[in-house]
Amino acid sequence: MFEKVLIANRGEIACRVIRSCRRMGISTVAVFSSADADAQHVRLADEGYAIGGPTPQESDLRGDAIIEVALRAGAQAIHPGYGFLSENADFADAVAAAGLVFIGPSAASMRRMGSKAGAKDLMAAAGVPVVPGYTGEDQSADVLAREAARIGFPLMIKAAHGGGGKGMRIVRSADEFLPNLESCQREAAGAFGRDRVLLERYVESPRHIEIQVFGDAHGHAIHLNERECSAQRRYQKVLEESPSPFLTPGLRAAMGEAAVKAARAIDYANAGTVEFIVAPSGEFFFMEINTRLQVEHPVTEMTTGLDLVEWQLRVAAGEPLPLAQDEVPRAGHAIEVRLYAEDPEAGFLPGSGKLQRLRLPAPSAHVRIDSGVVEGDVVTIFYDPMIAKLIVHDTDRARALARLREALAQCDVAGPKSNIAFLEALVRHPAIVDASIDTGYLDRHLDEFVAPADAPVEPLLLLAAATAQLLLQEHGQAQAAATSSDPGSPWALADGWRLGHAGKRQLAFLYRGQRLHAEALGSGGDYTVAVAG
């Protein structure tokens, strides 16, 4: 096993990798930009080295500087985390050329997945279901229009080299095709330097389900169950859970088998994710393989009890996979959401600034917090504004959702605006509760999750809050009275009862930054509550 590992990343994923390394007795090396000099991952690592200016281009994306630090610090391996250089085949090659181990798949495996078109052809040859479409070299407008007519509408135009929801267009009729093609090609060229596109049938109301796969250098490949990521906004995942509430046992087995076929087709070693799009009928199609650890890997860890970073380290060190396919556990239900410094009311504009207050629920057997910041830290403009990942686990989905609502209620952020209210609305929405959400639902119904900035509080909501608070106060006081030296004393109760009239109580609430007052009369669940006159 490695004695020292450099982590070529930052934030919560760097802190996450450090935790596993520390438990395994492996020393860690952090690298940081000038914007991250006092960041949590730097404080947690055994050593830290500056590698450049505040922007990723000046620091985190400088593979040469990172390798130089690894050699100087005496590290034997580099863990790339996710994002930045994690799927950069040239960086993986450079790490190997320097005599170091890249903790991830080989550069050859990455290159096979680097082109969506090439990956699709490869998967089809391996017997993995793919969406009907066109991936050809001929990119002339006439050929693409002819292929679009053959595939039929609706269809999707996708940049062949890229991701993150960029370079994608849904086309519903032939007369919309050419304008969308030109727009997509321009965006792809600007974002990825290449304007090649592929066409594929668009699946209406799809689910997004991904399978966690693992391979080793000894020819073994297995999957570690699925995650459902159908709650998305502009192709970005918002809520992830495992197991999927949509899959039947038969469909789950078929998708797991297809994912392992996909991994074997590219001689995959280490952690990866095979992503599928699933039609309402249950028909599923290969989308892509993410050749790295995913942001949402904690839900797999919570339901299997496995440490995926430890698996990554062991596989990279040459060890075989710790378990066979039939030994992979599954217990309960886990859900993850991401707490961001962003303003949902302003189109989810990213936020920045000092976290003047950061209150998160206490970690427990049911609640996990993965974060790269603490109260007093600064959310900088140079990086993704994620504050923390909130992951919950319980015996079934209904209980896990209840845990998540409770955990979100304990979150409080002061400084930059956050998406807490959006997440609270999300986890109470019928489409989530009933597990009926598809990948486009949030974009079609965003107003159901984000209230206008000037929306007043609903009077019934304030009345309900007042009633709940009154009952809670009375219940708490009754419990305290029961354990006092005189449990039967009426003076120990705070139930608002008064001889001849009901006691008046003042209540105050904070709602979307404004203070709201209520005046209550009554006791024992029978109240008169006055709000706003």
> Does the active-site annotation cover 292?
yes
- Cα–Cα distance list, 488 to 71, 207, 485 (Å): 73, 58, 9
Q: Measured between alpha carbons, how far is 374 from 309 in angstroms, rounded to an integer?
A: 23
Q: Measured between alpha carbons, how far is 5 from 103 in angstroms, rounded to an integer?
A: 9
Q: Which of 408, 227, 220 is nearest to 304 (CA)?
A: 227
Cβ(33)–Cβ(59) below 8 Å: yes
Contacts of 501 (CB under 8 A, 6+ apart): none
Q: Measured between alpha carbons, how far is 95 from 93 in angstroms, rounded to an integer?
A: 5
Cβ(120)–Cβ(114) below 8 Å: no
Which strand (E) or helix (H) includes residue 169? strand 168-171
DSSP state of 447: G
- Count CA atoms within 13 Å of residue 131 on its CB side: 28
Backbone angles phi, psi at 336, to 5 degrees: -125, 140
Q: Measured between alpha carbons, how far is 45 from 145 in angstroms, rounded to an integer?
A: 54
Backbone angles phi, psi at 211, to 5 degrees: -115, 125
Q: Which of 298, 311, 296, 300 is nearest to 368 (CA)?
A: 298
**Edge-to-edge strands, sheet with 514-523:** 504-511, 514-523, 526-531
Mapping DSSP to helix (H, G, I), strand (E, B) and coil, where does residue 379 land? strand
Return the structure tokens found at 316: 């990279």
Q: Environment class of residue 219 by beta-carbon count within 10 Å: exposed (0-12), middle (13-18) or buried (19+)?
A: exposed
Q: Measured between alpha carbons, how far is 183 from 181 in angstroms, rounded to an integer?
A: 5
Axis-axis angle for helices 116-125, 107-114 (nearest 10): 100
Cβ(99)–Cβ(70) below 8 Å: no
Give the CA radius of gyration of the chain: 26
Q: Which of 62, 169, 292, 403 is catalytic?
A: 292
Q: Which of 71, 125, 130, 122 is nearest to 97 (CA)?
A: 71
Return the structure tokens found at 121: 């052809």
Backbone angles phi, psi at 125, to 5 degrees: -65, -30
Cβ(226)–Cβ(330) below 8 Å: no
Q: Which of 475, 73, 81 is nearest to 294 (CA)?
A: 81
| Count of positions (residues) in the chain | 533
Question: Which amino acids are annotated catalytic?
Answer: 292
